[in-house]
Structure 1
């Protein structure tokens, strides 16, 4: 990816239109983006990200304000960026959403965000996208990075340039997978996992089908199912053979059972015929006995029928008298009930009192109930008075309790204030002690580091000196070989000169033009001398390098030995740990100083607040007590009036209600008394008529006449019963004359023993059950045999298909586990995609390590590690820092600020190199580094700039965003941002303007914006 031009209008701090020609800066290779704090250096990077992704990096996106406050209301906020990525040139014009003034009237109108993406094809712009979603999809595919990844790899914004260096394996995997287009390997992992799950489901279904078949076979055979390790086919084959034998045996037992049923049925029929004759004889004998007993009944029925016919004329009067007596009884009962309900027993009027007196008593009670109505309303409001009085007393009690609580709190304040003051004094003293200890800790830490380096350099110095001696001896030996080869060449100089003689040309030695006997060379002496010389120069260079190393190590050892002193490393570390412990204790104690001071202020404020609350609580308690007493006096007077009015009743309302109810009952009782008197007179007249009619019908009294009366239906029943007795006697005589009852046959049947009918029935039932059971057994055996044979065939097919399914699942599970990094064969527990990315990261680490060595004077380098980042993590995407001074591998998180900046910068440059070399990755030709140079010392800054300056050889441009004054003198090509009251301005210095940027910019900003 290479940037060409950037144009910003009313964006961020830029009020007008500002343009940055990256093509001109690209020719310089390294440029500085400088300016005072707040001028807008980072806003240029924000404009690049906004043009590509529609967002700005980091927390600035949350502010939601991209339009310049300095811009005129008529100017539209817009960013246009031209870039080349993957061989395609694009121009992206983007507008953020903003509120513009209305063209008519007052107020604002919301302008929605817009975008226009054009591709320059043959120097002509072709529109590719005008919608936000289309543009995001297109640019995302072309760039191959999300906005966050773009900021981590290309921009490296303030304070975030080391995130990739210190990121965990999963974060690195997501970034590297997008940059190197290795999604196909993750797709392979997913494909294998899905095939494994499908195979597992298919295998489980087949095994479940087999278990179901075996369970069905076990259920059919009534036997337990076999275990998984048993032979299911053999087990099922044995069941089939056993079922066939059982079916044959059950079929052979059926004929004998059928013959037994036929014999038992014939014996039961004979017994039933004999029992039927005996039952008929006994029934006939019973009829004869009943006929003999009914002869007396015949005379009784004839007499009863005669008296019923004589009572027929008297019956209507008897019925009328019975009705009159019932009506009189009901009237008497009604009167007694009404009198009892009215409570007249022993009170104002006895039972049987006349209607007028009862009606007068009812009027008296209604009058009293009306008088009590007003007092009932007052009684209904009594609970409200009670609740109000209780509420007032509760308020008074709460106020008193609050007053006591506040007094307790205020009494405790002096002690709390003294404790807080003591804590503040202790924290102040601890802070002073921490300030004293801090430089001592730093000095002790420096001595520990120097002592560790001193001990390490002693061994390195001895090894370097020994190596120097060996290299010196080797250089001397090579020098002697070279001198020997040179001497041999001089000795063979005649042969060397003779090689250039040509007939007719003068000899350079003797001048003759004829050369009859030129010397012959025995070998290539010149080549031998040249090889010996090169060997000597190489050995001498190695010796010189070793000597320089010994000198450097010696000087460094002397420096660190002077700083560490004569004390041992253990002693230095012990002294350092002691000072660190004392500093931590002092720092921890000093941290409580703000809290202690704040506590004192809070206690003072609490004292003032408690005083105000005490005064308010005292007044509220007095007012509530007075109000409660007034409510109590009002309540006592009301209760006295109501107690006198309700008497013995629970309440005044209940007394009034009872009086009205008694009045209604008295009225009802008067009506019942009047009705009773009328009914008694009517009953007396009806009785006189009935007595006269009974005497005329020749009955002794009313009771005898009532006893003789029968209804028409009863009379008809008497007549029918009398005729029935006569008909039964005639029919019985005819029946006894028939066979087999005539001539003593009835007596013989009655005397004969009854047949064993239950035994015959039991015999037939047992034979039938045996036959049914034999049939069921035969049918069950045949069905079970057929079912087991069918299950045997189905199970055999299932077993034949299960073996290849298991083999296929085992292969898929092994491959999937290997690709996911969870199989036993994958000792590093690396995913397939992580394995591929680990190779890319190893290349990145190698490229970054070379630059980091130059940046740190050969001390640090980066290396890829395949070890897991934690005990449960996956391996493959780890980074480690190699410290050449100590020979120890370090975690990137342990680097200091300047060291971390150098390492992350080297990593980003190495990542850009590898991405550029990757066939499917995006070529990163433009990088930005936003701040971080202030953490570097002068020596490290020189080395970092040398590395960055060397990037121009690969055609890459690196922009440094910094306000460090040292950089302005070292980097000639600069983009300067100047701020003012009317907005910021952008200018380029130290580079020639480029004309390539304008070749494909034929469309105006207004035209692009209108298209968007």
Structure 2
């Protein structure tokens, strides 16, 4: 009972310390915000001070007196400015304000650590239970005591029930023996059924072969059968075409023999056009007319005294036979060549149709090849940028826009990142390059020209910009934890202060920032840290407690 009262008092302290810790966290966040604002104001005054040095020097120039910088006595164009000049007193005041903010932040860190330690001790005394749970536990203890008294009364009655239940247990044992026998018989039948099922599964696996299922194998066999049938039909078509070709060649040879030609070249050479055929026909008609005219002349009375002997007409008959043979040959050649013209015209028409279809396919193939080359980043893609690189470049531009919002603040408006999609050296593919624009020179230059500290700030700004874009594209899911590994050793004092102020601002906004570093000067600026020690055995140990700064 005494332990319960002590634990109950500790639970009350846990509730009070929890409220105090919430208030301490709120004060710590307010102090962090004021510290970050003081750091930004101090950096702004320093930048204005540096920018106004020329105007300040110009205000001390005296005509005819040498310049303190260049030594010239002529001052043709002294620098002017509209902004109010920043004095050293302003810088000192801003530095004091920043120091006050840091002191206030350290005080709130200390208060938070003390309250957190007291809360942890109170929770250790109270355990994992709350005050309400302790009150409920005490009430439950009183109820348990009353139940224990009642249980003593019931113990006697339960003794009688025990004897009765023992008899029932013996009867249940006999029933259980019968059930075990039935179970063994059922198990034997189940083993037989499983054996039969295994045999069926083996047969199905044998029929399935290397396929996922028997249906897949059937589909494959049916596809093979369809292919075999298509091949058989193609072979039949090929044999039919070969037969037609052989028949056509035999018909040509028969026609050549019938027309008394040695080969196709001879038949082609003997071909006569329409004009030559008409000329031969006219010669035949002229010969017939001459013969008729000769007969009519011979029938005249004046020629009755001619010799009775017959005139030798053999040469004329031979000439007539030769002319008739030539005519028949010309007509046969004309018919054969006409058939060939029809066949060749059909072949030429088919060839032109195939050539037209081929030109369309070649045009489509050229367009597809050019599109594939453009997507792959080759000619005619003048940017030398792949399609996936183009999509990533759009994402990179969003990240750069988010990163520049922080990089301008961290560098006093001097540096901004730019997306570089120019073609790389020797025509290499591009699209994901970065350039840094310096406001002091007004020009963009490679990021490799940045110093170590400037490179770290640019990398930190990119990381924060990436986290912001990922959060926006993930439906507003916040990335509450950020780890920064090393990189602080290359920073000078001012750059380190700027980086830490930026991280403090993120922590004040509700994020948890983890820094991994070996820089001793950072220990004073980190509110809580884990100490990792390398042992002599070669492994590392982490400190048991979370140490406050």
Larger Rg: 1
Q: TM above 0.5, one fold?
A: no
Instruction: Tell me the TM-score normalised to structure 1 length.
Output: 0.22
Higher RCO (CA-CA < 8 Å; seq separation 6+): 1
Instruction: Tell me the TM-score normalised to structure 2 length.
Output: 0.38
